[in-house]
Amino acid sequence: MNNVLPHSLFTSFDIDLFRSGKHFQLYEKFGSHLLEVDGVKGGYFSVWAPAAKSVSVVGDFNYWVQGEHLLNVRWDGSGIWEGFIPGIENGAKYKYKIQSNVNGLVTEKADPFARYCELPPNTASVVWDLKYKWKDSGYMKTRADKNALDRPYSVYEVHLGSWKRKVEENRFLTYIEMAEELVAYVRETGFTHVEFMPVMEYPYDPSWGYQLVGYFAPTSRFGKPQDFMFLVDKFHEAGIGVILDWVPSHFPSDAHGLGFFDGSHLYEHPDIRKGYHPDWKSLVFNYGRNEVRSFLISNAMFWLQHYHVDGLRVDAVASMLYLDYSRNDGEWEPNIFGGRENLDSISFLKDFNEAVYANFDGVQTIAEESTSFPMVSRPTYVGGLGFGMKWMMGWMHDTLEYFKKEPIYRSYHQNDITFSMTYAFTENFMLPLSHDEVVYGKRSIFGRMPGDEWQRFANLRLLYSYMFTHPGSKLLFMGDEFGQSEEWKFDGSLDWHLLQYDFHNGIKKTVTALNKLYTSQPALFEKQFSQDGFEWIDYSDNQNCVISFIRKGNNPKDDLLVICNFTPVVREEYRIGLPSKSKLTEIFNSDHPDFGGSGVSNPKAVKAETKPWNGREYSAVVCLSPLGVSVFKIG
């Protein structure tokens, strides 16, 4: 007996939008929804399965018996199966049992639109009401200013499962516990934003969350959906923005996931040259299928709407842009113009960005993109992909290569540390030192630093100070802010005990001071993506391994002079050219004793004199600390 009543949340307009790839709120229609129909309370279920012969809802309410609750296929050829089951309550577990019309195959699938999932390794979806009383109205009214491109944007990247653990119980922190501990820590260290590696439900811990199954469900590892809302709410209460890693590039082939969903290639591209990712052994979305585009863009909108997130960092964009990404000759097919660009994916990314920025004020999309693909962070109306920012992978690679060299050899590699400025303003760049740089034998960021103990910590302070004074927004992976010694391990906790040691605590103090410098000095953020905000003083002093430049804001009175000394040699009388006859007041020095430094500084203001230097009419003599960065206010 079929105990499913005919019912629909879809209008004909919904169906038209879905089919055209323009329905961006599918989460209001698909999935499970608690409703009252003709005075009867229960659950409405709907799923897209056009190749299905029959679809049953199986769950703990019918002993997982196929055929007890058969959904009804819509008459309009949309491939949507739906129906209302009386008596369904919040917390009911369920899946879809799908018999394929193509090959008779029977699949048992989690709901692609489930708002909550069983704790892995269990795989059922859970009927869940997302009611929550938000308390962040004040923050939401002002976030457009907080998240603007001319505001400070300093990101603390976090893997929720390994930031900190309850050692005595060997368990994760919950969302509720993180709302107290993590929020307080990010506020203490001064970051403006936190970025979570994927929180959407995933089956396999070693994937770090990048192999998603529950695209609409925060992982149950740390609590319930409302608990995650509470965590976001608490970050907003502290004035901190929340960015989520989002993975529209690929998905795993787990039996309960999206792959071969209704016995056909529904979500993945049917051509293995476009539908399979050789690096991650995963499936690739079919970006040319309108219904799939609607699914993905709806997913992005869901997190922005229901979870109040402030940005989406889009993972592996490079793999989406190119048909030959990680493929050998003969393993890919050129596009209709004979090129290697994935035209469907490019079109999808433009649609995604247009939808996000048109519907939400004060949010940003950020591309993790490692190639020279043009105009990633330029508006679509001028031919760009439409992202707000792009990771500056070239800066990251060149800088880490430079810093791992002993200072005695750095004079031969000055170009590594200055080359980024030749293209720094071609995109809105974010400077990342991310989780990818502290795994797979690369060592921790601290582990790359050369020299004796003092020099290694001085080099790390130098690196971060150079990073925070370089144009662009910033991202630092958890643990880097106190000089984590070992590589990151996803199944453990950060080495918090290191903070008992002065040098490690000094790194934390340095990062905190740099965040304060970055957020308080307009010259470091007002024009961080504009050539107008930067001027070289000297990039050619490779003999001394010194570079110097000016950072500029809207008001010339805010201008800053930055001098970086990449050797352990104190330069007591270093002459520097200046654009005006001004005085220099040192406002930051990475060699400060509080940070673990030697205390070499410029305690008194330094006056410029009329003596030409560095091609400028005026100059001044300053003292450069060893392996240090000095920041001066020009006034």
Q: Which residues are catalytic?
A: 315, 368
List the beta bridge partners of residue 195: 157, 243
Buried b (16+ CB within 10 A) or exposed e, 564-594: bbbbbebbeebebbbbeebebebebbbbbee
Amino acid sitting at position 251: F
Burial class (CB within 10 angstroms; exposed 0-12, middle 13-18, buried 19+) of 346: middle
Round to whole Å and give the CA distance between 313 and 352.
12
Question: What are the structure tokens assigned to 520, written together?
Answer: 């308080």
- The number of residues in the chain equals 635
Q: Which residues contact 544 (CB under 8 A, 6 or more apart)?
A: 411, 565, 567, 569, 571, 574
Residue 121 backbone phi and psi in degrees, to 5: -85, 5
541 in Cβ contact with 563 (< 8 Å): no
Residue 198 backbone phi and psi in degrees, to 5: -45, 130
Round to whole Å and give the CA distance between 206 and 86.
40
Q: What is the DSSP string of 549-572?
A: EEE--SSGGG-EEEEEE-SS--EE
> How many CB atoms are located within 10 Å of the residue 50 CB?
16
Burial class (CB within 10 angstroms; exposed 0-12, middle 13-18, buried 19+) of 615: exposed
Question: What are the structure tokens assigned to 9, written together?
Answer: 């949340």
